[in-house]
Structure 1
């Protein structure tokens, strides 16, 4: 029998990193990943109204098939930046692969205007990927390192998934930054601020909206989202927007000398293809950690 979720949500704290070409092999060769991982094939269906009410409300609803099991998940967009996110998440098992509308109605995100949209929810996109998971004990914290490879499908549009997620299970969130920096020293990667659901929604609509910016953390967030948009869309204007945001960041009067050096490294290390170098990843993570980002995520 389906177990409905408890209204009190645990907070998911994770750091998302996008992998550059060839970076996966370098990552898998990293000494921290010497032990064999747990491996899973995950098939996911996301739901929204035809008008995109959940995307506008920054809420994701997902059914996940994991072997014979079916899980329903609700996530809010949360806060963060520079790859780090803090989101509320509810997850519960289902008896069948069908949306549990009654369970949704019990949750805080659906206590307001979204309550009226539950009956209109329908599948809008899917993400199918292979997941490898390593539980790590890192500098006094417990962290789950996940590598996802697959694709997002929204209508006739597709885009690949190649990312690392570092999820804090116990300990300090700063341990996520330290672990990411240790990986970035040997692996070409970059922070990503776009969830799979947000990427899929933009892909389906063929519209990639960039956040406004005025502060250093907001300019870095805008550059990060613009790079996410460029790699999913292939539209050169998003790469140009990322470069412009990094330029604004490097010139911002609020930066101290150390932060400005990191920002200038970002402008120098973002190549013509928009792919990260190891130096770009280290600088982006160092700067995001320094800025202590708290921006609204997608």
Structure 2
């Protein structure tokens, strides 16, 4: 199990170029764009959502990954989550492998309970542009995500935009995340802390 620490900031669409220029200057190179397709699963009773968990399949240029996350906290844009992630053979969950990897009994129990009734609930499709930034001796993966959340509900297709910056700590002190976020927000107008994950956006879209 890993604990993911990242700061998420809502990015006004008209500030995309300004944020891009900031990261190019800080990283010393152009960002690397990656197209990511994500499928989120839960039961009709939303068993995972009620246990503050999220389960997804992600298609990347290198193949499919399955990821199971549980929320620890989200405050002022800082998200801390337990995360289990692994490659899978294709567009299908491999629940047994996740259960073997999951070292939190309560979380594993929620996933085991949900497994027989899991179904696709929504998708998030977006382009992620990535930079690796050094900040106060720490390594931060900076990303700009642009795309949409898509949910099919009772024959209706619902969509919501995604436009955000994610700063994920890869190595070093968490204070570096806050320092980089402070510098970024001083240079790019309109950025605001965002405590809502993409998974939460999908659930809210379905409930709209």
Deviation of 1:114 after TM superposition, in Å, equals 4.2
| Corresponding position of 2:202 | 200
Question: Would you say 1:97 and 2:91 are equivalent positions?
Answer: yes
SS of the counterpart of 1:75?
strand
Normalising by structure 1, we get a TM-score of: 0.64
Question: Would you say 1:43 and 2:37 are equivalent positions?
Answer: yes
| Corresponding position of 2:137 | 140
Identify if the C-alpha distance between structure 1 residues 21 and 70 changes in structure 2 by more than 3 Å, giving closer, same or farther: closer
Deviation of 1:115 after TM superposition, in Å, equals 2.0
| Corresponding position of 1:257 | none
| Corresponding position of 1:26 | 18
Identify if the C-alpha distance between structure 1 residues 113 and 130 changes in structure 2 by more than 3 Å, giving closer, same or farther: closer
| Equivalent pair of 1:46/1:61 in contact (CA under 8 Å) | yes
The range that moved more, 100-109 or 131-140, is 100-109
| Corresponding position of 2:8 | 16
Counterparts of 1:67-78 in structure 2, within 5 Å, are 67-78=61-72
Structure with a larger share of its residues in helix = 1
Question: Would you say 1:127 and 2:121 are equivalent positions?
Answer: no
| Equivalent pair of 1:104/1:118 in contact (CA under 8 Å) | no
How much is the aligned-residue C-alpha RMSD, in angstroms?
Answer: 1.4
Mark the structure with the bigger radius of gyration.
Answer: 1
| Equivalent pair of 2:32/2:129 in contact (CA under 8 Å) | yes
* C-alpha separation in 1, matches of 2:97 and 2:198: 22
Deviation of 1:168 after TM superposition, in Å, equals 0.3
* C-alpha separation in 1, matches of 2:68 and 2:110: 16
Give aligned pairs, total. Answer: 198
The ranges of structure 1 where at least 4 consecutive aligned residues each deviate by more than 6 angstroms after the TM superposition are none
**Highest RCO, 1 vs 2 (Cα 8 Å, sep ≥ 6):** 2
Structure with a larger share of its residues in strand = 2
| Equivalent pair of 1:43/1:128 in contact (CA under 8 Å) | yes
Normalising by structure 2, we get a TM-score of: 0.91
Deviation of 1:112 after TM superposition, in Å, equals 2.7
Identify if the C-alpha distance between structure 1 residues 118 and 175 changes in structure 2 by more than 3 Å, giving closer, same or farther: same
| Corresponding position of 2:76 | 82
| Structure 1 residue ranges without an equivalent (≥5) | 1-8, 207-298
Question: Would you say 1:151 and 2:148 are equivalent positions?
Answer: yes
| Corresponding position of 1:176 | 177
| Equivalent pair of 2:47/2:110 in contact (CA under 8 Å) | no
| Structure 2 residue ranges without an equivalent (≥5) | none
Residues 218-249 of structure 1: per-residue CA shift (max 9 Å, x gap): xxxxxxxxxxxxxxxxxxxxxxxxxxxxxxxx
